[in-house]
Structure 1
Amino acid sequence: MQEIQGQLFTQSTILQDLKELGIESGMTLMVHSSFKSLGSWVAGGPVAVILALEEALGETGTLVMPTHSNDLSDPEGWRNPPVPSEWWEEIREHMPPYDPHLTPLWFMGIIPELFRKQEGTMRSGHPHHSFAARGPKAASLIAGHALAFGLGENSPLARLYDAEGWILLLGVGHGNNTSIHLAEYRAEFSGKKQIPNKAPLLVDGVKQWVEFPDLELNSDDFVVIGEAFETETKQVRRGKVAGAEAILVPQRALVDYAVGWMERNR
């Protein structure tokens, strides 16, 4: 069997990379990540990444990750792939209700999947757009996550904005930057549309399909917005963490910029 090639990364080397990028003790930090982008070999795997992030933030810092589960939805709206209409009622009957301790993530990656299970991590109660957080500000960030408009004013994104938090894009780009959705709720632009959503929830101990309103979200222009923000404001820090391209962004400044960009261009 051929020997593994490439560079070895460890919790210590990742920690040093995070510090060089600008991550400091006491920050409130939202992380979007792709573990496979970090390189051929990380000693300790995704656990080492989580521990390095927590060490960089220290005891006074708070780590946040999106833990979305959009598949916990009405099968009538599934498109990728669609399922036969004769399955819909049976799926609705047997789909388990959202459980912050049990419900897995949907296409969010191994790092947040493990982080949500770590002792001391808290996860918000939204069945589609939950967030997990660990640290002194965790409870205030995830408390009161409303069903309606789940990435809007009563969401952890808005609380991160209030806390003047930061965003780390670790091996991913602005197309994965959930915080720009907050700008969609705040901006006024043509074509802004409200839609109904549904999810199975426990209500007084009984599973019910609960309907709630949301916006029809669109991330197609997020990369353009992120690049324009970087070019015009010079507030983005770029570097390498292990083998991954890493981007550190002040969330409040980005959201404010994105509101104006959407109002001018959408």
Structure 2
Amino acid sequence: MYTKQDLLNQLQTLGVDPTGTLNVHISYKAIGEVEGRGDTVLDALAEYMQQGLLVIPSHTWDNVGESNPVMDVLYTPTCIGAMTEVFRKRSGVCRSLHPTHSVAALGADAEEFVSGEEHITTPCGEGGVYHKLWQRNAQILLIGVNFARNTYIHGIEEWEGVKGTISEKKTDLYVINHEGQRIYTPQYRHCAPIGSDTFPKLEPQALQEGILTMGRFGDATARFMHAVPLREMIATLLREDLQYLMRY
């Protein structure tokens, strides 16, 4: 059984900078038995990053849409796992006002980091939180999941102009902010038939180029990388073949 100290030690071994920005995608089941269960996992991540910024997705793309067009920042649950739901409700955590691809952030500049998402009209548009990850050369840590769960890559698709991943039709969606105000937040949504299922084919090259390093977090395989070199590698592939990620 893993303790919080075990998890803290593994983050250090992975090379995570505790003063930087860390974006985490996580599968709790993959970690194995932890003393204190999921709360201890979140405690370890929060404690390790207490001098930096911890960012965990709180997406609602599966439960906000045409038939249910309102995302309430306080009450709409995430659709990507229990850990994300627990984290977004923690004291001091700020959730962004994106109707489908919000994130929850904890740290000194969390409020500034998540600000402005109500003006983003695509899942990972320029000026939004995923674009800010690139601007900060943020660290990305995948715990127990592979590149298929690396939402940042969807951002790279958008910024590099890949066709066929974003709908041409706008969906009328709304966000209710912390003050109870209803804000119109129309979205051009993900529509690629393959989605992110092709993203794992990027891993061998990322490993070969030293962009991706592998380690452990509990029993889970941990994939660790930085945002800028990952974008540079994928952008080069897309400039040679814009539809590279649209094929297996």
CA RMSD of aligned residues (A): 2.3
| Structure 2 letter corresponding to 1:184 | E
Cα distance change on mapping 1:185 and 1:13 into 2, 3 Å: same
Deviates more, 1:26-35 or 1:47-56: 47-56
Partner residue of 2:64? 72
Partner residue of 1:162? 135
The Cα shift of 1:98 comes to 1.4
Partner residue of 1:250? 226
Q: Does 1:20 align with 2:13?
A: yes
| Unaligned ranges ≥5, structure 2 | 244-248
The answer on whether the counterparts of 1:185 and 1:215 sit within 8 Å (CA) in structure 2 is no
Aligned residues between the structures: 236
Q: Give 1:1-266 correspondences, 5 Å limit.
A: 8-39=1-32, 41-58=33-50, 60-70=51-61, 71-75=63-67, 95=68, 97-106=70-79, 108-145=80-117, 146-189=119-162, 191=164, 193-195=166-168, 196-202=170-176, 211-214=186-189, 216-217=191-192, 218-231=195-208, 233-265=209-241, 266=243
Cα distance change on mapping 1:100 and 1:261 into 2, 3 Å: same
The Cα shift of 1:230 comes to 2.1
Partner residue of 2:246? none
The C-alpha deviation readout for 1:187-238, integer Å capped at 9, x for no partner, is 244546543223244499686886433453532321112332222x212221
The answer on whether the counterparts of 1:68 and 1:105 sit within 8 Å (CA) in structure 2 is yes
Cα distance change on mapping 1:208 and 1:187 into 2, 3 Å: closer
The answer on whether the counterparts of 1:9 and 1:43 sit within 8 Å (CA) in structure 2 is yes
1:72 and 1:243 mapped to 2: Cα distance?
33
1:153 and 1:133 mapped to 2: Cα distance?
18
Partner residue of 1:86? none
Partner residue of 1:3? none
Cα distance change on mapping 1:52 and 1:197 into 2, 3 Å: same
> Is the partner of 2:237 in helix, strand or coil?
helix
| Structure 2 letter corresponding to 1:140 | E
The answer on whether the counterparts of 1:157 and 1:182 sit within 8 Å (CA) in structure 2 is yes
| Structure 2 letter corresponding to 1:18 | L
Deviates more, 1:220-229 or 1:206-215: 206-215
The answer on whether the counterparts of 2:174 and 2:186 sit within 8 Å (CA) in structure 1 is no
1:239 and 1:73 mapped to 2: Cα distance?
37
> Is the partner of 1:249 in helix, strand or coil?
strand
> Is the partner of 1:125 in helix, strand or coil?
coil
> Is the partner of 2:64 in helix, strand or coil?
coil
The Cα shift of 1:147 comes to 3.6
If the length of structure 2 is used for normalisation, what is the TM-score? 0.86
> Is the partner of 1:42 in helix, strand or coil?
coil
2:181 and 2:20 mapped to 1: Cα distance?
40
Cα distance change on mapping 1:102 and 1:193 into 2, 3 Å: closer
- Between structure 1 and structure 2, the one with the greater Rg is 1
| Unaligned ranges ≥5, structure 1 | 1-7, 76-94
